[in-house]
A and B are shown apart, each in its own frame.
Chain A
Amino acid sequence: MPDSNKRAPMKFEKGVFSMSAPGKRSPGGLAKKIQESFFSREIYRGYASVVTLLILWEAGAKLGMPIIKNIPPLTSVLDAFRQVIFDSSYWGSWGTSFNRICIGYIAAQIIGIPLGLLMGTSRFFREMTLPVFEVLRPIPPLAWVPAAAIFWPTREISIIFVTFLGAFFVLILDIVGGARAIDPRYIRAATSLGSRRKDILWRIVFPATLPSIIVGMTVGIGVAWNTVVAAEMIASRSGLGFMTWRSYVTLSYPLIVVGMISIGIADCISSGIIRFLGARITPWLRTDMPANVL
């Protein structure tokens, strides 16, 4: 083909593990995706159901329905939101919680991913470490809070530690499961083709386990948020969890709901980022790619 001489040389694109032949990117831009996410018919149904929920909430509280009337009505929550947005301590809480999440979660990934891969691929290593792991894992991260408060020098570190544990165990579990489930024929094919040990590790085992790693990361961020919020309620004087708890104690009930919604949004944002990154590194798992028929 005379054309091929004019195209750019091979480079890494479309994900880390493919050598890409010169060619077009798959069609469908960002605008189309946004349109599908926010303006399609399915989403309108979603909007409708959420709006109905809000209406029921407001109506129920104002009209004095049996239990709903104890909940702060939508309007007072919105009021509280309006006030709190200009309060710097509110955003400070966001920052503190996010900070704890970032350090704890990222530490869990940095330690957990290599450890998980090692445990998944080396039988010797797994047999040595898995029993210890399985003994510690059933202990809920929150149960660690008092112990952590004792042996770590500062409260902050103990909260970060507990957050770390939450994300860590989930991650290891998923990675080990994924690594052990790799189809041995991939390894056999790669070995026959002449791969060395490090080729098998980096070009076969790692990408094959990547989906499990990403699942572990996605679940991990949810668990991390659960843990951090509760740990803040129990053992801290800062953060979104603490803010929510304090609103209860100081009888500022609309602020409780503000806190809840804020935590929900924060979790949503972090999960979204992880999922987005995950989808970017695993282009071969995307289901929106057009299939080809012979």
Chain B
Amino acid sequence: MRIENVRKTYGLEPWVKVVLDDCSFVIENRKLTVVIGPSGCGKSTLIDVLAGYEKPDSGKVLVDGRPVRGPGPDRLVVFQETALFPWMTTFANVSYGPMVRQEMDKKELRGETMKLLKLVGLEAFADKYPCQLSGGMVRRAELVRALINRPKVMLMDEPFRGLDAMTRALMQEYYLRLFEARPGTNLFVTSEIEEAIFLADRLIIMSNRPTRIRKIMNIDLQRPREFKILTSKEYLRYKGEALDILYDEAMKDFHSGMKVANVDFLEACSQAGKDF
């Protein structure tokens, strides 16, 4: 999947707010592309444009060379706050896609759904409603709700945000296992630098608003990723490089007075202080 020169604005002239400005990159197949950037820099807008919920003001979004015309089951999104349907059981949620597209018969669908639920350890909770599941379980269910449709592209919009550290680490592991078992075209958006480097094959760092691609880094850490690489030299080198850029971006906005950047600035400072 590729995007070329995409620009997205909100509002009317002359108070137009530019959210994405001339963004171009390729999301390669069989590689995990991670997008990181300060909060409020338009990462969610990027997902919206890629998924087809919004049309860019200029530029192109292409899948396999063909332009994107709207949302579809070839590009599925896992959202920030869960979008699992609360009125359906886990089972019904996961089987929703194929059921509504009438692609499989009942028995096949049941088998496929239970198989995927088993893969993420939720088979015992197939009959429960999302309100009965914990945060991590809900996210896992959402992952397989997308996966069962074998989408060409998976778009993850900070899916583990708001989870506690331990659950988050487990979710990262689950996700990586799923990805490494069925590598596809995956885009993962996050604002956590550690998560970004841990997951990524390619890391795209975005600038603050108006958002452009600041840098694209190739992360050449060994797969399958394990938690022990978090203390390895290469990992820390990548992290230092990325932090430098983010710090730089935060300073730019600090000087131009954006409140949002202050928070990131302080965070980046404290992390930099810890590591160096």
Q: Residues of A at under 8 Å CB distance from B?
A: 1, 4, 9-10, 14-15, 17-21, 23-24, 183, 185-186, 188-196, 199, 203-204, 207-208, 210, 282-285, 289-294
The reply on B267 being an interface residue by CB < 8 A is no
CB-CB under 8 A from A185, the residues of chain B are 79, 81, 83
Chain B positions 169-184 with a Cβ under 8 Å from a chain A Cβ = none
The reply on B53 being an interface residue by CB < 8 A is yes
The reply on B216 being an interface residue by CB < 8 A is no
Q: Is the CB of A193 within 8 A of B76?
A: yes
User: Quick one: CB contact mask for B57-89 with A, threshold 8 Å, 1 for yes?
Assistant: 000000000000001110111010101011111
Q: Is the CB of A199 within 8 A of B100?
A: yes
The reply on B167 being an interface residue by CB < 8 A is yes
Q: Is the CB of A289 within 8 A of B100?
A: no
Interface segment, one of B132-140, B186-194, B219-227, B235-243? B132-140
| Chain A residue with Cβ nearest B123 | A1
Q: Residues of B at under 8 Å CB distance from A?
A: 51-53, 71-73, 75-77, 79, 81, 83, 85-89, 91-92, 95-97, 99-101, 106-107, 110-111, 113-114, 118, 123, 125-137, 145, 149, 167
Given the complex of chains A and B, what is the CA–CA distance between A102 and B114 in angstroms? 45
CB-CB under 8 A from B100, the residues of chain A are 190, 193-196, 199, 203
CB-CB under 8 A from B89, the residues of chain A are 14, 18-21
Q: Is the CB of A208 within 8 A of B101?
A: no
Given contacts A21-B126, A192-B73, 19 further A-B contacts (CB under 8 A): A9-B107, A10-B110, A17-B87, A18-B89, A20-B92, A21-B89, A183-B83, A185-B79, A185-B81, A188-B53, A188-B71, A192-B75, A194-B100, A207-B87, A284-B131, A291-B131, A291-B134, A292-B128, A294-B137
Measured between C-beta atoms, what is the minimum distance from A278 to chain B in Å?
13
Q: Is the CB of B134 within 8 A of A294?
A: yes
Q: Is the CB of A9 within 8 A of B106?
A: yes
Query: Among A18, A192, A208, A294, which residue has its beta carbon within 8 angstroms of that of B71?
Result: A192
Q: Is the CB of A283 within 8 A of B73?
A: no
Q: What are 29 contact pairs spanning A and B, CB under 8 A? A: A9-B107, A14-B127, A18-B87, A21-B113, A21-B127, A185-B81, A189-B77, A192-B51, A192-B52, A192-B72, A192-B75, A193-B97, A193-B101, A194-B73, A194-B100, A204-B85, A207-B85, A207-B87, A210-B87, A283-B129, A284-B130, A289-B128, A289-B129, A291-B134, A292-B125, A292-B128, A292-B133, A292-B134, A294-B137
Counting chain B CB atoms within 10 Å of each CB, which of A4, A192, A285 scores highest? A192
- The main secondary structure of chain A at its interface with chain B is loop
CB-CB under 8 A from B87, the residues of chain A are 15, 17-18, 207-208, 210, 282, 284
CB-CB under 8 A from B135, the residues of chain A are 294
Q: Is the CB of B136 within 8 A of A284?
A: no
Q: Is the CB of A10 within 8 A of B106?
A: yes
| Chain B residue with Cβ nearest A189 | B83
Q: Is the CB of A21 within 8 A of B110?
A: yes
CB-CB under 8 A from A292, the residues of chain B are 125, 128, 132-134, 137
Given the complex of chains A and B, what is the CA–CA distance between A21 and B52 in angstroms? 33
Given the complex of chains A and B, what is the CA–CA distance between A282 and B86 in angstroms? 10
Query: Among A19, A208, A290, which residue has its beta carbon within 8 angstroms of that of B92?
Result: A19
Given the complex of chains A and B, what is the CA–CA distance between A189 and B71 in angstroms? 9
Measured between C-beta atoms, what is the minimum distance from B20 to chain A in Å?
19
- Ranked nearest first, the 5 interchain pairs of A and B with the lowest CB-CB distance are A21-B126, A207-B87, A193-B97, A23-B127, A284-B129
Say yes or no: A20-B91 contact (C-beta < 8 A), given A188-B83, A194-B100: yes
Measured between C-beta atoms, what is the minimum distance from A186 to chain B in Å?
6
CB-CB under 8 A from B136, the residues of chain A are 294
CB-CB under 8 A from B131, the residues of chain A are 284-285, 289, 291
CB-CB under 8 A from B81, the residues of chain A are 185
Measured between C-beta atoms, what is the minimum distance from B83 to chain A in Å?
4
CB-CB under 8 A from B88, the residues of chain A are 17-19, 207, 284
Given the complex of chains A and B, what is the CA–CA distance between A10 and B99 in angstroms? 13
Measured between C-beta atoms, what is the minimum distance from A185 to chain B in Å?
4
Say yes or no: A19-B95 contact (C-beta < 8 A), given A189-B83, A284-B86, A294-B136: yes
Q: Is the CB of B167 within 8 A of A294?
A: yes
Measured between C-beta atoms, what is the minimum distance from A197 to chain B in Å?
11
Given the complex of chains A and B, what is the CA–CA distance between A1 and B123 in angstroms? 11
CB-CB under 8 A from A4, the residues of chain B are 110-111, 114
Given the complex of chains A and B, what is the CA–CA distance between A23 and B100 in angstroms? 23
Given the complex of chains A and B, what is the CA–CA distance between A290 and B114 in angstroms? 22
Query: Among B72, B134, B149, which residue has its beta carbon within 8 angstroms of that of A293?
Result: B134
| Chain B residue with Cβ nearest A196 | B100
| Chain A residue with Cβ nearest B135 | A294
Q: Is the CB of B96 within 8 A of A23?
A: no
CB-CB under 8 A from A24, the residues of chain B are 127
CB-CB under 8 A from B133, the residues of chain A are 292
Given the complex of chains A and B, what is the CA–CA distance between A221 and B178 in angstroms? 51
| Chain A residue with Cβ nearest B111 | A4
CB-CB under 8 A from B125, the residues of chain A are 292
Given the complex of chains A and B, what is the CA–CA distance between A193 and B110 in angstroms? 17
